[in-house]
Chains A and B, each alone.
Chain A
Amino acid sequence: MATKSKRSIKWLIGISIALAALLLPKFASDYGIHIAIISLFYVLMSSSWNLVAGFTGQVSFAHAAFAAIGAYASSLMAIHYNLPIPLTIVFGTCIAGTLGHVLGRLCLPLGGTYLSLVTLSFAEILRIVITNEDQWTRGTMGLQVPGIFRDYSKTKYYLLFLAITVFAVLGLNLLIRSRMGLRFRAVMDDEIAAASVGVHTTNIRVLAFTLSSLIAGLAGALYGHYAMLISPDIGSLAQMFLILAMTMIGGLGSIEGPIFGAILLEVLSEQIRSFGEYHLLVFGVISLLIVRFAPQGLAGLLRRQRWKLF
């Protein structure tokens, strides 16, 4: 009986959130919709990073770099070949996924610290290339990018981001709950035991890394065509650490954690804009406190109160 009523409450909360999300453009100001769009971008970024770090135990520092690859690949195709934007977004996503697969194949067998070091180097190399190849990318001067819609409408962008984010998060949830998800966790929990029962640990990790890069590329491409301007900042380490903080604060290894973390930190960062670069310091302190006092993040805290959304 108690379980039934709890399930009803969960459904009620779920429907309320869905309704609030759909109706948000009706009530929020343009600025509110803008924050919501950026929050959804970060939900995509942190949820996909969580797939690698939270479910296969591999820490990659190249996630923001894959968003940059998606953003620049899509933008350059749109600018130089005048192709339809949806097609260039697909192209940018595929390029990020392919490069993610190649990098994963090369580095994932190394594992652990080596993977972190290689991905860190990859991200920095990419930043230098984007900055210096300014005849193509305009470097730090910023590349003007065409928008997706002919008539600029924040509501349209919001609904597009919302649809893609819901699709991606539900897809990730299904994946984690599938037999493949079980293999992901097996690889993370005990690599040798997983291998002994026939799980190809490297292939599993490469798959997670490729999917994660693919989603980051998609998020980056969408972001570029929304912001209509991209610079090497999109793939910077500061961006990477922000995604890391969002996932840690929200709850690494859970589906709902990165969603909480991304929305909370994006909203918080708008509140503390005047802190300038110091806002990362604030996030760092929050992350430290969360790791120390609530290692499962916000999702863990809610779960302790038996509020599990997924």
Chain B
Amino acid sequence: MAIKLFTLIFISLGFANLSSAETIKIGVVGPRTGSAAAEGTAFDEGIALALDAIRAKGGIHGSSVEVVFEDTGGGPEKAAAAFEKLVTKDKVAIVLGESHSSAALAEIEVANRYHTPFIVAEAWADAIMEKKYPSVFRAGPYNTDVVNSTIVQFIKEGHFKKVSIVAENSDWGKGIGALTDSALKKEKIEHSLTEVDQNAKDFYPSLNKVKTEKPDLVLAYIYSFGLHTFVSQARELSVSPNALVLDGAGPPSLWGEFWTNVGKAGDGELFISPMHESVQPNAEAKAFWNAYKKKFSKSPSDYKIRSAYITVLLAADALERANSTEPSDVVNALEKTNFSAPTGKIHFGTKQGDIHYHQWSPQMLAVQWQNRKQVVVFPKNVATGTIEFSK
């Protein structure tokens, strides 16, 4: 028994850790469990589509590609451990993914320690790129850009006079809440900022405060199912539809459970998203949409499916151009990226000290649920309708 026990322990300690030279491994980090497990499903679908595309091209210089997906549960400790496992056990050439800022902030430390190329897909906190780690890239939205290019412009274009910001106490929520607060101050738009617990189920105290402020727009920086509860309780207290509610993240308003959880309160709700069926800027966007429909017999809903798809293809493109799995070669290749993605041409800034350093973000849209149909209301050049105020 003792011999068996020691054998098991020694095997597990990595003495028999060999990987096939024919296969290039790409690591993915993201939540498959916890309150945002739906993101894991979205990532899975995007990865499957990307792998189909890579296989159709004959792999990377003839080598097949394997994706190793590690669950982070959305928590920073688990995320750091998952990243460490991908690098030290699975020996992946590059890591991508993530949709929680706190988890990404933990992962970048591990990426920097091992010099592992890491492409952040969907974690928005500015702090992730502020450390300017040489191996860390972001090919997705970030708070400053979302606030300045989308939210503030949407508020100005919609002529909203009074805004209530309700932000959860996560890295993303605190960051985007503070940025919106200062941007609205600069624009001299009357507003308030309320912080709520990211695991809160009861928003009545905050919503009662919001009700007294009589806003015409409520910015809900709340993620996961908490957003559903918030939207539903806002209607119960008649905060909406007097004020419109804008989901500042997006995916929770697109999850299958949204209408079951919010009922009528969902109609008129707005959300942020970089993806909509009517907004297909290039042939790659149409190809993605068609490939998804063919594979899954439905239209893609959560835009994080497309984010995972893009980042896997981006990683494969860098590995192909680098013709190596050496971290420094892959980082060099990523810096020279000029990739046609469904969201547009992706290229990363390389000037140290610049906000665009190793960063690229897609154009974001504001979409409104109108009679349970998605209508793009911002920006004007791609809008499919206008904002519908309370009836």
A contact set with B: CB distance below 8 Å = 24, 27-36, 132, 134, 139-142, 144, 152, 227-231, 233-234, 260, 263-264, 267, 270-271, 273-274, 276-277, 298, 301-302, 305, 307
Contact = CB atoms under 8 A, between A and B. Distances in A.
Contacts of A35: 12-14
B33 to A, nearest CB: 4
Judged by DSSP, the binding face of B is helix
Contacts of A267: 8-9, 12-13
Q: Which 10 pairs of residues, A with B, have the shortest CB-CB distance?
A: A142-B76, A32-B13, A32-B14, A29-B14, A31-B88, A31-B89, A30-B88, A141-B102, A267-B12, A276-B33
A270 B12 contact: yes
Given A29-B17, A276-B32, A276-B73, A229 B88 contact: no
23 contacts: A24-B13, A29-B15, A29-B17, A31-B88, A31-B89, A140-B75, A141-B102, A142-B102, A142-B105, A144-B105, A144-B109, A229-B106, A229-B109, A230-B77, A231-B75, A233-B75, A233-B78, A260-B5, A263-B9, A264-B8, A267-B9, A274-B71, A276-B32
| Main SS class of interface, A | helix
A139 to B, nearest CB: 7
Contacts, number: 104
Contacts of A139: 169
A301 B1 contact: yes
B191 to A, nearest CB: 22
B77 A142 contact: yes
Given A28-B13, A141-B171, A228-B109, 18 more contacts: A29-B13, A30-B14, A31-B88, A32-B12, A32-B14, A35-B12, A140-B199, A141-B169, A142-B75, A142-B77, A144-B105, A144-B109, A152-B113, A230-B77, A273-B85, A274-B71, A276-B32, A277-B33
Interface of B: 1-2, 5, 8-9, 12-15, 17, 32-33, 70-71, 73, 75-78, 80-81, 84-85, 87-89, 101-102, 105-106, 109, 113, 169-171, 197-199
A24 B12 CA distance: 13
A33 B10 CA distance: 11
A41 B89 CA distance: 20
B66 to A, nearest CB: 15
A78 to B, nearest CB: 15
B36 to A, nearest CB: 13
Contact of B77 (A28, A234, A263): A234
Give the residue among A28, A32, A35, A302 with the most B Cβ atoms within 10 A. A32
Given A30-B88, A229-B80, A36 B75 contact: no
Contacts of A301: 1
Contacts of A230: 77
A7 B342 CA distance: 71
B12 to A, nearest CB: 4
A277 B31 CA distance: 12
Contacts of A264: 5, 8-9
A287 B199 CA distance: 31
A229 B14 contact: no
Contacts of B33: 276-277
Contacts of A132: 197
Nearest to A307: B2
A276 B76 CA distance: 15
A302 B3 CA distance: 12
A274 B13 CA distance: 17
Given A260-B5, A277-B33, A32 B15 contact: yes
A263 B7 CA distance: 12
